[in-house]
Structure 1
């Protein structure tokens, strides 16, 4: 299997670094190197491209402009975003299960990105990828507004694929180290993102933090149990049991009381 790659970076040293690094990975072929989004479009018209190494910060048009266009395609090339260190950018990529390389990147990180891209291409997962990239672009556009919209779905990476999960299907979310676990009734899904990263994108009218390790969907609040002095537990509508910190008890009771009021 030969993977055709396109390098898009306005700085020649950045293009050269990737070119030399990819030489150590058989099966990867560079079809073109571009210094702008405009030349990248022309290169994609002239060549079959599987993976794009895309610099974010470029003059005239940024890499985000090209990502926006690609996200509208049914089966776009996969994008590995290349960026200098930026905390917001890294958090955005992680939240949307997109791959990235930080300048200067190391061989281990590059190898991991190539492995992930290869697995997704083998399983023909470009459609799910397009949806995830579309969410990323939309979130970036919303972030520039004074009142960004709350998320309706998130993208989760598993081996060789990206799955888009509707937040309306998530009953509660549990912190699990550097991961969070999405509870959806009979199904649980792990996502390698900290709970605090996702929390700021959740609609507070729909989701409520009840513990440092748990966020619940408000329409799932069913019963609050007192287990001991300052020890509380929520029983959700589906009978899942979730710990509640004392600091959140008053708000939990208020939400439950409001939820019981007649419309």
Structure 2
């Protein structure tokens, strides 16, 4: 039995979600809460496997509650349900399992249920907890040791030390490893804040490289600069980051 709670300050929102979930086999509603404080009390009385959580609520937002839950030894899966699409990046930063927009689409809800069932059924909950705890630790230390990359029913741990360079891909980032590339659901600007500046260097608005991968700086075409990495990758260098790259190579000021 999958136990869940619904957290939404608006009664119609709670009712709509409750009705939509009633037909889900093996899912049991444990509590309905109109605030983050009420949800905290409900979870203290009886832990849940999944929390359907609104983001914009009076006094305390769903994002604040999600961050708090993520620091617990055994956090529940978080599925955000909101009328606003502007918080999607923030939601995935706290490793929400999914992000549903109101009015809830039956197909998207079914996908979220499938992801939750897969995560719980394939015994991936421990990996999910590790991802939450890793993010919580990174927000305090401003550095992290591993990425936790999610797909349906699975979380893969990618060590930061194995990443050779990173490239922006919209609200995602490509993690370039020795043998493959992994797509991670965070923007490059946010990832940069969690990397150690003594290990990584930004060379372009779309690229960050590992410092010990830098091998050569070249002038190409009409005066543009390009850096060559030990792995063979060749990346554009912007004027804004040129001096930092020269310093990395040992000839700053030239």
Q: Structure 1-normalised TM-score?
A: 0.75
What's the CA shift string for 1:57-100, capped at 9, x where partnerless? 4455554554345334444321112344263x321223454222
Q: 1:25 to 1:242 in 2, by over 3 A?
A: farther
Q: Secondary structure of the residue that 1:132 maps to in structure 2?
A: helix
How far the C-alpha of 1:179 sits from its partner, in A, is 3.9
Change (3 A) 1:44 1:254: closer
In the alignment, which residue of structure 1 is the partner of 2:235? 243
CA distance in 2, matches of 1:94, 1:48: 22
Equivalent positions of 1:45-64 (< 5 A) are 47=46, 49-59=48-58, 62-64=61-63
In structure 2, do the counterparts of structure 1 residues 250 and 114 end up closer, same or farther at CA, with 3 Å as the change threshold? same
Aligned partners of 2:50 and 2:78 also within 8 Å = yes
1:222 is aligned, of 212, 215, 218, to: 215
Contact 1:230 1:246 in 2 (8 A): no
Residue aligning to 1:22:
21
Provide closer, same or farther for how the CA distance between residues 20 and 202 of structure 1 changes in structure 2, counting only shifts above 3 A. Answer: same
**Alpha-carbon contact 1:96-1:135 (below 8 Å) kept:** no
Q: Who is 1:145 aligned against?
A: none
RMSD: 3.3
Alignment partner for residue 160 of structure 1, among 144, 147, 153?
153
Change (3 A) 1:242 1:251: same
Q: Which residue does the alignment assign to 2:142?
A: 150
Deviation of 1:117 after TM superposition, in Å, equals 1.2
Distance 1:166 1:83, change over 3 A: farther
1:182 positional shift? 0.7
- Aligned pairs for 1:61-140 (under 5 A) are 62-64=61-63, 66-85=65-84, 87=86, 89-98=87-96, 99-136=98-135
Structure 1: where are the runs of 5+ without partners? 143-148
TM-score, normalising length: structure 2: 0.77
Find the aligned partners of 1:133 and 1:55 in 2 and give their Cα distance: 19
